[in-house]
Structure 1
Amino acid sequence: MALAPIDLRKKIVQITLEKKKLTHVEARVGIVLDITGSMQTLYKNGTVQEVVERILAVASKFDDNGALDVWVYDTHFSRLPSVTERDFKDYVQNQILNNAAIHKFGRNNEPPVMEDVIRKYTVEEDTGVPVFIIFINDGGVVKPIKKVITAAAVQPIFWQFVGIGHSDFEVLKQLDTMEGRIVDNANFFHLDDIAATSDEMLYDQLLHEFPSWLKAAEEKRIIRR
């Protein structure tokens, strides 16, 4: 019997984890989705749903309850119900596009949603377990995110920014060289077309810098493993 796409992706994630010596790591996994106006086509054509499913495979391997926490943002943000293997089908349509309460397709403002991510994992649910946040963005981010990331370096949260599309991502490209942090807690890579990127390449890039952050964060006693 052919494997379902989610099961195939979990196999690819497992291979990636073995390659990067991450098979024994437990982590909370969250995704922050840009829902500004320029993202409208990617929501309507199913690309964002596909991204959620691809990242869910990572959460299924890292998180003991297999849940992927979800946020969307433009000038406002919404913290959405977590998604699991039981309910991922049509998640974007049902939870985001059909939800009139969600502010969508406006301009971008990242710090408020980032502060809510920090609040969830360090105030509301402070477990000490590492947190892996995948932040999908298709354009410029506001410069104050640098201040948020610098202040959050003491928290057990790693921020993996993924730029999609054809913007210059000037601020995000500077993340690796930002000074004044106890550990390097953020990484960025750019994909012109995320839908055309293979699962193997996506997972390899997503998990490229997470291992070195885990090591540094453990040495600085930011996380307990």
Structure 2
Amino acid sequence: MKADASEAAAAVEEIVLTPIDLRKKLVQITLEKKKLTHVVAKVGIVLDITGSMQALYKNGTVQEVVERILAVASKFDDNGTLDVWVYDTHFSRLPSVTERDFVDYVQNKILNNHEIHKFGRNNEPPVMEDVIRKYTVEEDDGIPVFIIFINDGGVVKPIKKVITAASVQPIFWQFVGIGQSDFEVLKQLDTMEGRVVDNANFIHLDDIAAVSDEQLYDQLLNEFPSWLMAAKEKRIIRSS
């Protein structure tokens, strides 16, 4: 009887798990595989809102991306929140998102927000400078920062200077290219010289909606462990 009761309880648990709970379980598996379970980090996402992204905002893909990355923040982040920026020629720093308020976040906080400049051309350095300002001036506490930067093609070349200058900061930049662009500049990140540590990585996903959560989390967190090690050696972040 006890075994039957245990099995029934397990079945009930599986039934009531929400999508965010299921994704958190997958993130936990990835963290264990990459030996990151002890790491505390702040997590932020920068979302391209240029004209070519319009369909992805309106069909729910960007909302899904926010929810998928929120699962990472929920396991990783020091306070379980995901910091959010959007950018085209201008940028906006948006309210952070949590498990309590992620439903319809993109519709409510981005698409319905008429103060946000949207669907123009791309200009990455200003939003990157604001990310750096938040985590090194406003919140200068030495906690590692993991930034996921979503872009659907074409970044301005001056981002190289920003990334190089930021290599002394406790920020790792994980660029995610979506769509069919060639991503010429972003592909050069791993071979950029003049940095104290390699503080950026690029992955290309033709159709991010078609990539499983397991694959996404594995690729997103692929180079973060090596950056953590290098940043500790250079005393950019504190050793735990």
TM normalised by structure 1 equals 0.99
**Mapping 1:84-123, distance limit 5 Å:** 84-123=98-137
C-alpha deviation, 1:63, in angstroms: 1.0
Supply the distance in 1 between the matched residues of 2:95 and 2:131 (Cα, whole angstroms). 13
2:160 is aligned to 146
Give 2:156's aligned amino acid: V
Residue number in structure 2 paired with 1:164: 178
Q: How does 1:41-56 map to 2 (within 5 A)?
A: 41-56=55-70
Residue 52 of structure 2: aligned partner: 38
Q: Distance in 2 between matches of 1:50 and 1:121?
A: 25
Q: Secondary structure at the match of 1:174?
A: helix
Q: Which residue among 18, 23, 27 is the counterpart of 1:4?
A: 18
Tell me what 1:183 maps to: 197
Counterpart CA distance in 1 for 2:35 and 2:148 is 20
CA distance in structure 1 between the partners assigned to 2:29 and 2:76 by the alignment: 13
Q: Gaps (5+ residues) in structure 1?
A: none
Offset, 1:64: 2.3
1:83-133 CA deviation, whole Å, 9 max, x = no partner?
000000000000000000000000000000000000000000111000000
The alignment's C-alpha RMSD in Å is 0.4
Percent of pairs identical after alignment? 89
Q: Residue 74 of structure 1 aligns with which residue? A: 88
Letter in 1 for 2:64: E
Structure 1 ranges of 4+ moved more than 3 A? none
Distance in 2 of aligned mates of 1:127 and 1:53 = 27
Shift of 1:181: 0.4
Tell me which of 209, 213, 216 is aligned to 1:202: 216
2:82 alignment partner AA: L
Letter matched to residue 71 of structure 1: W
Gaps of 5+ in 2: 1-11
Q: Hey, what's the Cα distance between the residues in 2 that align with 1:125 and 1:65?
A: 13
Distance (Å, rounded) in 2 between the aligned partners of 1:63 and 1:34:
22
Residue 185 of structure 2 aligns to a residue in which SS? helix
2:187 alignment partner in structure 1: 173
- TM-score, with length taken from structure 2: 0.93
Q: Measure the CA separation in 2 of the matches of 1:14 and 1:197.
A: 18
Q: Distance in 2 between matches of 1:160 and 1:64?
A: 19
Rounded to whole Å, the distance in 2 between the matches of 1:217 and 1:121 is: 16
How many aligned positions are there?
A: 225
Alpha-carbon distance in structure 2 between the residues aligned to 1:65 and 1:112: 26
Partner of 1:64: 78
Q: Deviations over 1:201-221 (max 9, x none)?
A: 000000000000000000000
